Amino acid sequence: MTLGRRDFLQRLSAVLAALGVTDGWLVGQTTAYQQALADGNRCLALLVGINDYPNSTWQTPPTVEKGSFLKGALTDIELQRELLINRFNVVPQDIVTLANADATVNRILETVQGHLVAQAKPGDTVVFHFSGLGSQVHLIDSAPGLSLPTLIAADSHLPNDEVPVLQDLFEESLAQLLGSLRGVKVLTVIDASTAPYPTVRRGNFRVRSRPTVPTGIWPAPFDPQLREPTKSWQKLATDWPGLLLQPQMADAIALEGTWSGFSAGLFTYALTQQIWTTLPSQRQQWFIHRIDRKLSAWTGSDQATQLLGQQLSQRQGLMTGRLPQPAADGVVNTVDTVNRSAIVWLGGLPSALLPYCELGMRLQPLPTLPGLASMPEGILVVKTLEGLRAKATLTNPKGLPVGAPVIEIERRFPKEIALTIVLDPALERIERVDATSALSSMSFITTTAPGEKSADCLFGKSSSILNQAHRSTATPAPADAASPEPDTLPPGYGLFTPDGSLISGTTAETEEAVKTAVTRLTGKLRSLLAVKMLRLTANPIASRLPVRLLLETQAPNQQLLLLEETLRSRQLSGTDLTQSERLTFGTLNRDRPDQYQIRLMNSGVTDLHYLLVSVIEKSRLSVYCPPLDMSEGNDLTSQAIATDSVLPGGTAIQYPKMPDSTFALQPLQTTEVFAITTTQPLLKTWKAIRTPEFRYQGDRWATVPEPLAMTQALLRDLSQASAAFVEDAETIPDHVLALRSEAWATLAL
């Protein structure tokens, strides 16, 4: 059962309530926060993560080293543990973790029974998280065609003639135990796939599912009260006790990726990051929407998170009264006052910023109580990064407590940012050599092997990459996400998203040499890098500028559909939503006849300069042309446009502005809209836009001829605006740009 977008907006309140995020909480009311801490209800958690599987567990392909396939499951349980302790104030002793060899079938079920079921009392909350491999199985005596979902434990093994037992953890057994709880709120997170997949990788990611569907007999349970499983995944997920969160990636496959020095499940990482950076006063309706947008940015394909279980229809909250700590990028783990250093865990920091942390990212501790206007003194400067833990030097170490949340206040980038490309391992050796040689001649490109690090795209042949998807025996993808049939695949080289989906318009109709293909794709590669750089400027959590970006239907039936805003300004100012902003959001429906508008609001008192950019089909950039004075004799130069693109304090601009303009929703289905606001005019940016090929379209979007030149100029403009706020400018190397959170805000829909 996959919930469509129509259902998202009707059901997401339950999800946010499950995480302690409720609209009823005012950020400035520290009294309510203190009362929540005094709440006697407990949260009990069991976190299971398995990286090391014996070969007998799931028949690894010969090319995969035994026991080494998954690398991110232990990171997942670390992410969840840090989140529960530092965001929800869960007592560490109430969290049990089972890792690798300890996570056997009986050990998991016994711990669910002993730690969760036996200890939980009415009003408590239990959390169960599993990261590892999933599967489907058939029971010999079950109904024909019935597939049962299982999780693969450390001692799971495939049945054979001598031992026909299916030694998996049946999800229905887990549900039966959790379903025995009465008056207890249940949250289950499963970052694994029940659907089989024929290969161990999908694009640049590892697949968290067993490639085979074994048949055998049900093992004798450790608890005689457990009944033999009979429910398919669809039926079980609908009846799941409490709330079940599970990824719905391409072909229903859960994926695992690698970032700067660590691996993690895409779903777990996106989920925990979003919880870290969500304020309780923010709208509940778009929490999952933001998770899916994060997943889409990593994979390159549209994603839809599954929200399942009995809790949805009951619309009851989990962790009621357990209020989270302030939205943050991470938390201080240790403080060394003698050496004036600290270890900071950065699980909430946008993953795209991790490769640049060691350039000297600045962090600031936040108040331990949300809503306080005063800030603890001291700045943390990141020196080294290992996984998600950074070693930072600091000022005023005596005033920095362990457990203090931290937020980024200055990010640094090299002036030359590169696009990372993975070469298809199915290419012949000579093809890889030629591709590496051709790509290395471009200063803005770096290449890497599959799975070694986060990548922006793949280079290969559609006949090898796309055919992998057609060998899948997984649940069919939706019709609008279908891949080309194998006999219609273009024969030439092309570019693919990180999860292996073809990027439109990048393949040739005929065979060609590798170097010829690279030359042909140069323009597309430059555009992809431009999109990467644009996304690197997004800072809704860190920005100090009070800005909002809204998507609405036009009058007379005006209705709010999407809203993004800077969270930091709301948290520091203690403001809250107006009554009108608490109304239920409308739904995005392709068939609606309404006309739409985008509104950009400046809630502060200082005038800001703005730029609206749209990204169509992941690589084509357009800018909004404000309807300026174009009368005869008016010199419409780039400086004039930049200077006149002003958003005065306390006002809003909307697109379309002119009454004869229209804006249909259909293009927005494949479009990202970015709003950049800054304290200074974007002079360099508009100069880069206004090439001879550019055609100014008043109150319209106009295609940017040189997207990379525009985004490079944008970073320089933001750096220049930030210069007024940088206190130690002499420490910034010549090859580095420093961007301060006081100087700009970038929001995206």
pLDDT mean by block of 10 residues, the chain; 749 residues: 39 39 30 33 93 74 56 95 88 96 95 95 93 92 85 90 88 94 91 84 89 86 83 87 77 84 92 78 55 77 64 44 65 90 93 94 77 64 95 82 89 94 90 92 90 90 58 37 49 87 83 91 95 94 89 73 73 48 46 71 91 87 80 64 87 79 57 92 94 86 94 96 86 91 93
Do 618 and 691 belong together in one domain?
yes
Total count of residues recorded for the chain: 749
Whether residue 525 is contained in a domain is answered as no
Q: Which helix (H) or strand (E) holds 274?
A: helix 266-276
Residue 11 domain flag: yes
Identify whether residues 403 and 423 lie together within a single domain: no
H/E element holding 439?
helix 429-440
Per-residue pLDDT tens over the stretch 645-692: 899 998 888 888 776 666 654 555 567 889 999 999 999 999 999 998
pLDDT number for residue 626: 83
Helix (H, G, I), strand (E, B) or coil at 467: helix
Q: Which residues lie below 8 Å from residue 114, measured CB to CB, with a gap of 6+?
A: none
CATH number of the domain where residue 356 is located: 2.40.10
The reported pTM is 0.86
- Name which of 330, 708, 718 is nearest 538 in CA terms: 718
Residues 409 and 426 in one domain: no
Residue 569 structural domain: 539-748
| Whole-number pLDDT of residue 363 | 94
Residue 562 DSSP SS3: strand
- Residue 278 has what pLDDT? 72
Residue type at 379?
I
Q: What pLDDT score does 438 carry? A: 93
Q: Are residues 129 and 251 in the same domain?
A: yes
CA atoms 578, 584, 590, 595: torsion sign = negative
With CA atoms as reference, report the closest residue to 576 among 37, 22, 34. Answer: 22
| Alpha carbon distance 467, 470 (integer Å) | 5
Answer yes or no: do 511 and 553 share one domain. no
Can you read off the two tokens belonging to residue 452?
């070694």
Check: CB of residue 648 under 8 Å from CB of residue 607. Answer: yes
Name the nearest CA neighbour of 309 among 192, 186, 148.
186
**Euclidean distance between CA atoms 32 and 389, whole angstroms:** 32
- How many domains, the chain? 4
Residues 624 and 721 reside in one and the same domain: yes
Edge-to-edge strand list for the sheet holding 419-423: 445-448, 419-423, 457-461, 493-496
Domain end position, chosen among 287, 314, 341: 314
Distance CA 164, CA 319 (A): 42
Pairing of strands 215-216, 201-202: unpaired
| Residues 278 and 180 reside in one and the same domain | yes
Residue that terminates a domain, selected from 385, 414, 443? 414
The domain spanning residue 154 has which CATH number?
3.40.50.1460
Same domain, 309 and 336: no
What pLDDT score was predicted for residue 12? 37
Q: Which residues contact 247 (CB under 8 A, 6 or more apart)?
A: 191, 193, 254, 255, 265, 266, 267, 295, 303, 305, 306
Residue with tokens 């970073």: 715
Evaluate the omega torsion of the peptide bond into residue 656 and state whether it is cis, within 30 degrees of 0. Answer: yes
Residue 458 is inside which H or E element, if any?
Answer: strand 457-461
Residues 6+ apart with CB under 8 A from 710: 530, 621, 623, 685, 688, 689, 704
DSSP structure class, residue 326: P
Q: Quote the CA–CA distance of 59 and 214 in Å, as a whole number.
A: 11
CA–CA dist 134, 243 (Å, integer) = 19
What's the CA gap between 290 and 271, in Å, rounded? 9
- Residue 350 confidence (pLDDT): 92
Whether residue 406 sits in one domain with residue 302: no
| Together in a domain, 341 and 309 | no
Same domain, 72 and 217: yes
N-terminal to C-terminal alpha carbon distance within the chain: 26
Token pair recorded at residue 663 = 């804006």
Q: Count CA atoms within 13 Å of residue 131 on its CB side.
A: 30
Domain boundary among 491, 520, 549: 520
- Tokens in use for 323? 């209020």
Residue 504 phi, psi dihedral angles, 5° rounding: -55, 135
Is 159 within 8 Å of 218 (Cβ atoms)? no
Residue 94 in domain: yes
Q: Is residue 233 situated within a structural domain?
A: yes
In a shared domain, residues 347 and 386: yes
Contact, 597 vs 559, CB < 8 A? no
Residue 319 lies in a domain: no
Alpha-carbon distance of 262 to 563, in angstroms, equals 32
